[in-house]
Amino acid sequence: MVYASRFEEKAADALPQTSIVTAAAILASGASNVSEVLSRVVGLPTTINLDGSTNAVVDMRGYGDTASNNMVVLLDGVRISENEQAAAKTSMIPLEIIDHIEVTYGGNSVLYGDGATGGTIHIVTKKQVGDLSVLSGGLSSYSGVQTSLYQSKALGTSQLSVFGRGLNSNGYRDGATTKERSFGMNWVTDMDGQSRVGVRMMTAQEKNTLPGPLPSIDLDSSPTNRQVPGYTYNSISNTTTIALFGSKKMGDAEFSLDVARREKSNDSRYRYNAEKVFTGYSPTLSPAPNDPWFPQSAPINTFAFSESGIKSNTQSFSPRLKVMDFAVADNTLIVGVDKTSTGRYMNAVLTNAYTPDTLNTSVSQVNFSTQGFYLRDDWQLTNVDRVTMGYRTQHYSESNAGTSQWESSGTASANEIQYTRVLTPALTAYLKSSQNFRLPNVDDNNSVNYDANWNPIRLVPQISRDTDAGLVYKTLQWQSEVRVFKSKIRNEIAYDPGANQGYGGNINYDPTLREGVNLRQHVRLNRQWDAGLNLHYVKAVFTESTYANNQVPNTARHTGNVQLGYQLSTAHRLTLTSRFASDKFASGDYLNQQAKVSGYVVHDLGYRYQQATYSLTATVSNLFNKQYTDLGIFKPNNGSGYYYIPPYNMTVYPNPGRSFGLMGRYNF
């Protein structure tokens, strides 16, 4: 059973743009977290997360720096994607509790609203599995230790499960450590065969220390170094979520409801000697004489410093109704409402590169709320012909009562029409035209561009007009998915370092374009051998104005992986995976004038031993110890006399070298 339509349905009834990753494929992959599953099994492009966590940034359609805000991640139907400039916290989800993952390619804003411009990833946990206990533990390079527990118990018509996960790692680079802890419970009961209610609670903590960005010229010679000696960055993030859910079937109708609340806090602090990194911290730049704001006798602090605390809470309310055989036979209508509200308070003290001997204070108190209404009609015209149509309207309002006070509001809409045809029992084709949107979130409007009179230019919703076509072929031996897409985007929301006279800010871009091809292939050659290919080609360019015809930074044209599996016996399996990406312009290089971040090909080897009640998985990642990165950042000179000093203006975040992992699981 899958939930791509926001209601439980048979996998055979799901639209063909949804791919299913089973629990067996997840555990056989040797992955240690959801991000690795999406990279290794699905082949989705990922980049390292700047917060030091194992929550990689997944880029489904070449959005680069804003990839996390152009994709929606859900856990059992409830959004866990952040309404900030941050990746979804999937690291808190133990792999042992996952029943399957549904990956839906292409714009999906009609059903899921804000940010579903590139697609959706729906993580579905195990339910109604009876009495089951799974204990796992593993060791890995860099003093890595990982443990998890999942226990489920049938209690009459109810099912109770509890789970926990822990991870400790010293990290690949000097001064990098990661500690992750999560615990949760899930209770669901079938009341009368037609009604189901439940509650899910989860709490998680991440503690990370970071070594800072590395000058790109040091990637080959000293990839494990800190940015500068003594660089320290510490962060602690706590998240608690509770969700209530229920459904009731009434003849040809089904009503479902999700109510959720998420509370999050994040405290961070960094300090380092910035004298060699940024001109504003150099003691050789004396204050201007006779300037009352910079007295000549004032000391110049060479250390950059920041300390910040953020607390936020988000409430969501999502009732929806499905009616079968609406008006005519084999016609399904879905209508629903999504309401969310977020409150976020941030207090920070920091040194400013232009006044390095002064601590500045910044306070942000943002309230953000949205109300959306949607409907979707899915009509099976014949045994082979199917038409799907939908519409959503969503209003938002946002305000800040902190140091900078402002208000912003607006409305966005989405629509879709899709024709699906079954060409043969194994081959299905589809063609879809849709409009999708992304709203400016609580981070976007806090740092915007200003006009000539220094009035802030508030952001408007990002709108994309998307065309998708695909072929899906499935037999017992061969599975093939080919998807072609084109997205014309207006008012794309992203950061531009050239805004605000070179000081940078979030803006609505001039028109941009994404177009490309996704391929997923898997073939079973015989009883021993199987092979797979995941390939993503994306052309991401500006189409008008200042950056016309330039590539969008941090988007590689080609990404994917190739897999070869060999089943030695019923218990033993070997898998070789080659991951690759082509070169790309670094984040911030909108003029496309700097050296590109080099592409890479790395190889992973996995071994799995499987018995009825236990398994052992061993992996070697980056088999040949390649020094590579999937994220580079360019910081242009703004022409003001304050700038990042070469080579610190072109930096990278190195990916790990050769690493080993060993994971055991026991079912009892």
Q: Is residue 287 scored above 70 in pLDDT?
A: no
Q: What average pLDDT does the segment 278-294 reach?
A: 62
Residues 128-158 have pLDDT tens digits of 888 999 999 999 999 999 999 999 999 989 9
pLDDT at 40: 87
Q: What average pLDDT does the segment 99-114 reach?
A: 95
**Lowest-confidence region among 203-212, 491-500, 650-659:** 491-500
* Residue 143 per-residue DSSP state: T
Q: Is residue 286 scored above 60 in pLDDT?
A: no
Residues 466-512 have pLDDT tens digits of 999 999 999 999 999 999 999 999 999 999 887 877 778 899 999 99
Q: Is residue 294 scored above 70 in pLDDT?
A: no
What does the alpha-carbon distance between residue 508 and residue 495 come to, in Å, rounded to a whole number? 9
Give counts: helices (H), strands (E), the chain.
4, 34
Q: Is residue 531 scored above 60 in pLDDT?
A: yes
Tokens found for residue 582: 């082509």
pLDDT at 299: 56
pLDDT at 145: 96
pLDDT at 375: 97
**Lowest-confidence region among 82-96, 113-127, 363-377, 614-628:** 82-96
Q: Is residue 288 scored above 60 in pLDDT?
A: no
What does the alpha-carbon distance between residue 346 and residue 361 come to, in Å, rounded to a whole number? 11
pLDDT band at 285 (very low <50, low <70, confident <90, very high): low
- 517 has which bridge partners? 484, 537
Q: Smallest Cα–Cα separation from 241: which of 200, 301, 277?
A: 200
pLDDT band at 174 (very low <50, low <70, confident <90, very high): very high
Q: Smallest Cα–Cα separation from 569: which of 532, 527, 530, 597?
A: 527
pLDDT at 168: 96
Mean pLDDT across the chain: 92
Residues 46-71 have pLDDT tens digits of 998 888 888 899 999 999 999 999 99
Q: What is the pTM of this model?
A: 0.93
pLDDT at 115: 94
Query: Which residues have a Cβ under 8 Å from the Cβ of 602 and sit 6 or more positions away?
Result: 578, 579, 580, 621, 622, 623, 624, 626, 628
What does the alpha-carbon distance between residue 422 and residue 387 come to, in Å, rounded to a whole number? 12
pLDDT band at 284 (very low <50, low <70, confident <90, very high): low
State percent of the chain over pLDDT 70. Answer: 97
pLDDT band at 617 (very low <50, low <70, confident <90, very high): very high
**Which domains does the chain possess?**
11-667 (2.40.170.20)
Residues 17-46 have pLDDT tens digits of 999 999 988 888 888 889 999 998 888 999
